[in-house]
């Protein structure tokens, strides 16, 4: 059945200012199952706050289901009877020896863009979610259903909005 290992601390996955972001990254060291075959998925969750709809909070439990061969599927409220797919991130498959993760950026109007990161760079396709989809919650890795892997260097960090150019500096540059 489903099981996961997660942080005890909750994180605010909805940065306050436009263009501010929070991201989680990790090094994928290995993706082999005990029988030596490659894992079918590299699964991790953000805004993790309950298991199988046992919380009053809506949203959250976004499963980022990394595929070794293609883009990454994203599911809201996983596992749960009202869970639903949100779309696909990126186009790059997960392979050992790379750094992966997601970045959630405030794009205004209580909407957030989720991007897959591959070696620190956004990977093509992104999806948008509402603030209600991202309650405060933990981060965790999922183990079940053909998922098995070894990771290192898990980092969760905030990114401030791009600094605005000081008008006095702009005058000096002219």
CA-nearest of 143, 123, 114 to 40 is: 143
Using DSSP's 3-state secondary structure scheme, residue 170 falls into helix
User: SS3 of 142, please?
Assistant: strand
Q: Are 95 and 28 in contact (CB under 8 A)?
A: yes
Biggest alpha carbon–alpha carbon distance for the chain? 65
pLDDT at 157: 96
Q: Are 49 and 132 in contact (CB under 8 A)?
A: no
127, 86 Cβ separation under 8 angstroms: yes
pLDDT recorded at residue 164: 59
Question: Is the pLDDT assigned to residue 172 strictly greater than 60?
Answer: no
Would you say 25 and 155 are in contact if contact means Cβ atoms under 8 Å apart?
yes
DSSP-based three-state secondary structure for 132: helix
Q: Residue 173: which H helix or E strand, with range?
A: helix 167-173
- The pLDDT value given to residue 165: 55
Q: Which two tokens stand for residue 79?
A: 């596992």
Q: Is the pLDDT of residue 170 over 60?
A: no
Q: What is the pLDDT of residues 125-147, one digit of tens each?
A: 999 999 999 999 999 998 887 77
Residue 25 pLDDT: 98
Is the pLDDT at 166 greater than 60? The verdict is no
Confidence (pTM): 0.88
In this model, does residue 55 exceed pLDDT 80?
Answer: no
Least confident of 3-12, 23-32, 106-115, 142-151: 142-151
């Amino acid at each position: 059945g489903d099981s996961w290992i997660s942080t005890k601390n909750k994180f605010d996955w909805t940065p306050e200012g436009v263009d501010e972001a929070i991201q989680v990254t990790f090094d994928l060291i290995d993706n082999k199952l005990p029988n030596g075959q490659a894992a079918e998925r590299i699964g991790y969750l953000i805004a993790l706050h309950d298991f199988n709809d046992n919380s009053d909070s809506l949203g959250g439990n976004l499963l980022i289901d990394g595929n070794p061969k293609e883009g990454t599927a994203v599911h809201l409220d996983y596992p749960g009877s009202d869970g639903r797919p949100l779309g696909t991130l990126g186009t790059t498959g997960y392979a050992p020896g790379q750094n992966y993760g997601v970045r959630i950026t405030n794009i205004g109007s209580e909407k957030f863009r989720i991007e897959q990161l591959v070696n620190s760079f956004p990977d093509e396709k992104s999806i948008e979610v509402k603030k209600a989809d991202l309650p405060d919650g933990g981060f965790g890795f999922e183990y079940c259903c053909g998922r098995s892997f070894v990771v290192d260097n898990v980092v969760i960090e905030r990114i401030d909005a791009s600094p605005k150019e000081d008008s006095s500096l702009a005058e000096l540059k002219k």
